[in-house]
Structure 1
Amino acid sequence: MTPLLPLRRHMALALAALLGLAALPALAAYPEQPVKLVVGFPPGGGGDLYGRLIANALSKTLGQTVIVENRTGAGGNIAADVVAKAKPDGYTLLLAMSGNIAVSPALKPQTLPYKVPEDFEPVGLILEAPHGLFVAHNSRFKTAREVLAAARTQKLAFASTGTGAAAHIGMEMVKQRAGVDILHVPYKGSGPAITDMLGGQVDMFFATASPLIGQVRQGQLKVLALTGDRRSPALPEVPTFKELGINVVVTQWYGLVAPAGTPRDIVRTLSEHLARALATPEVQQAIRKDAALEKNVPGDEFRRYIVDDIARYREAATPELMKQISQ
């Protein structure tokens, strides 16, 4: 009778294997329905273009439609809150950005209805766009060094698109590390800021570079220096602040995150498909044409990137800056 024991054992193992295989299709089928990408910008605005670019690319690789849903307001914080509270099943994603996932959590965490990184599963970084120091085409300043030298003996003013925004904090970092005092003048949008700069009401404009590259190429504006670790391939003649001895590397970045608790296998699948999308010439060309650069930084590595960026903004949070932001 003993030969039956090995036979029964083999049958039990075979049955277990079959049951395991039967459970695979549910996971392998992801995504079984359209995926929603929540974007904190209005249609046609800055980050919305990147959101639609990635949604279109992911739709092709995933074999399932990725739909963009615009949830504007509070600098992208409303969109982040919607995703933080969504069902963690891989069907709701956020176009994360430095503003709502790094700057706000660093400078005003008590005002946010979500926590970073606790409420999210990072999928991957998409791109980095440098911030730039811009002047009018007829400005007396030809280099960033001239601006900083003048700021030590004269009263200068810089424009930004809003107090507490990523670019504003970037310029505050430049001021701190260069040891200069330049008056901050916030505007509601780049249009009015540029108009006043061209008219001489402010000396310079500090902003994310990508939306302004067209005006630089047309000769209306000059960009004197950029943030980031290395020069932009699209603007190889423009130095980084780091080269000038001012170690400001913060950028305007975009990435994908899912709600916390999203299964690791689904996050991994999304991360792999994002990497494929970023490797396509179509996506690379669209990102690079305006001085941004695609960045394949997946999963846990992206989580560390976010935590490090939050730390950089917290370091810049002097009492004076926090007073500006709270007004």
Structure 2
Amino acid sequence: MKALVSRRSLAAMALTVCGAVSALSLAAPAAAAYPEQPIKLVVGFPPGGGGDLYGRMIAQALSKSVGQTVVVDNKAGAGGNIAADIVSKSKPDGYTLLLAMSGNLAVAAATKPQSIPYKVPDDFSPIGLILEAPHGLFVAHNSRFKTAKDYLAAAKTQKLTFASTGTGAAAHIGMEMVKQAAGVDILHVPYKGSGPAITDMLGGQVDAFFATASPLVGQVRQGQLRLLAITGDKRNAAIPDVPTFKELGLNIPVTQWYGLVAPAGTPEPVVKFLAEHLSKALATTEVRDAIRKDAATERDLPQDRFQKFILEDIARYKSALTPALLKEITQ
């Protein structure tokens, strides 16, 4: 009887092992085949605007690396929150990705977590950080303020103004950090876009403009604008003459960043595959040069390290939320 039971047990074990091997052999080709169709990269900007250029750059680089087309799908609106919501509710199969940024994954999560229709980090699988760009304090080419020290010193005795591209946006909160660190009160004047803000600054209606530096570096080089100081830990090689706020004794750690995320629940092998190819893309001379030319910096932080970065950035923005600022943002 014992021998019979033993033989039956062995037979059952053999069938189990064979079944497992068969299942693995069927699953392996399916995993190995990814991506079998074009990948959609959802970008929260209109074509040609803001981070759309970075989105298209990464889409093109990933297309070459993974051997499958990566198509940019522009879903502008609500500071990128519409795009984030779409991706958070998409099928987690690796075929819908989000060009995440400081606005929709850090600032929104810090300032209005209850009013956005998605949760950070719960609703996303982090793939990797792409780049960081400093924020900067700009004035007109003919401004009486030659340095950031001049501007901040004047703010202690005069009522000055600064423009931003919107209340509660990353750059707005960045300038609020400058105000807090310098102990000055400067009136915030929000605009819908950098064009009107710069026009009014050049016309003397506002004293300064605080914004992401990279899109405006060209105008600085052409002599239309003057860049007084930037955020970040060290000077940028593309604009070596521009000091950091840190050099002025003001610790302003926030930057404008972009990265890739997928919907939560995306299979780990797929996320890892995308993270590895993103790292390869960031290591290419073509991508590196495109990022660096206008004072941004490539940042290869894949998966868990990227998620840690996002959580730390949320905490940075939360630290700046005084009751008065929170009231301004939420009213």
What's the secondary structure of 2:328's corresponding residue? helix
1:13 Cα deviation (Å)? Answer: 5.8
Q: What is the aligned partner in structure 2 of residue 213 from structure 1?
A: 217
Change (3 A) 1:263 1:156: same
What's the secondary structure of 1:184's corresponding residue? strand
Q: What is the aligned partner in structure 1 of residue 119 from structure 2?
A: 115
1:323 Cα deviation (Å)? Answer: 1.6
1:116-131 mapped onto 2 (5 Å cutoff)? 116-131=120-135
1:135-284 mapped onto 2 (5 Å cutoff)? 135-284=139-288
Q: What is the aligned partner in structure 1 of residue 324 from structure 2?
A: 320
1:274 Cα deviation (Å)? Answer: 0.3
Query: C-alpha distance in 1, partners of 2:308/2:20?
Result: 39
Select 2:60's aligned residue among 56, 61, 73.
56
Task: Specify every segment of 5 or more residues in structure 1 that has no aligned partner in the other structure, as ranges.
Answer: none
Moved more, 98-107 or 187-196: 187-196
Q: What is the aligned partner in structure 2 of residue 43 from structure 1?
A: 47
Q: Is the aligned partner of 1:23 residue 2:27?
A: yes
Query: C-alpha distance in 2, partners of 1:250/1:107?
Result: 15
1:195 Cα deviation (Å)? Answer: 1.4
1:70-109 mapped onto 2 (5 Å cutoff)? 70-109=74-113
1:20 Cα deviation (Å)? Answer: 2.7
Q: What is the aligned partner in structure 2 of residue 67 from structure 1?
A: 71
1:87 Cα deviation (Å)? Answer: 0.6
Query: C-alpha distance in 1, partners of 2:220/2:30?
Result: 51
What's the secondary structure of 2:51's corresponding residue? helix
| Large movers: runs of 4+ above 3 Å | 7-19
Deviations 1:77-134 (CA, angstroms, capped at 9, x unpaired): 0100000000111111000000000001100111111000010001000110110000
What's the secondary structure of 1:294's corresponding residue? strand
1:163 Cα deviation (Å)? Answer: 0.7
Query: C-alpha distance in 2, partners of 1:156/1:12?
Result: 76
1:12 Cα deviation (Å)? Answer: 7.8
Query: C-alpha distance in 1, partners of 2:284/2:32?
Result: 24
1:21 Cα deviation (Å)? Answer: 3.2
Deviations 1:158-193 (CA, angstroms, capped at 9, x unpaired): 111111111000000110111111111111111111
Query: C-alpha distance in 2, partners of 1:92/1:199?
Result: 44
Query: C-alpha distance in 2, partners of 1:159/1:307?
Result: 28
Aligned residue identity for 2:188: H
Deviations 1:270-299 (CA, angstroms, capped at 9, x unpaired): 000000111111111111111111110100
Aligned residue identity for 2:87: V
Aligned residue identity for 1:138: N
Query: C-alpha distance in 2, partners of 1:314/1:18?
Result: 51
Identical columns (%): 73
Aligned residue identity for 1:96: A
1:14 Cα deviation (Å)? Answer: 7.2
1:254 Cα deviation (Å)? Answer: 0.5
What's the secondary structure of 2:241's corresponding residue? coil
Give the TM-score taking structure 2 as reference length: 0.94
What's the secondary structure of 2:72's corresponding residue? strand
How large is the Cα RMSD of the aligned pairs? Answer: 1.9
Moved more, 7-16 or 88-97: 7-16
Deviations 1:132-170 (CA, angstroms, capped at 9, x unpaired): 000111111111111111111111111111111110000
Change (3 A) 1:202 1:11: closer
Q: What is the aligned partner in structure 2 of residue 134 from structure 1?
A: 138
Change (3 A) 1:17 1:247: same
Aligned residue identity for 1:124: G
Task: Specify every segment of 5 or more residues in structure 2 that has no aligned partner in the other structure, as ranges.
Answer: none
Aligned residue identity for 2:231: T
Aligned residue identity for 1:234: A
Give the TM-score taking structure 1 as reference length: 0.95
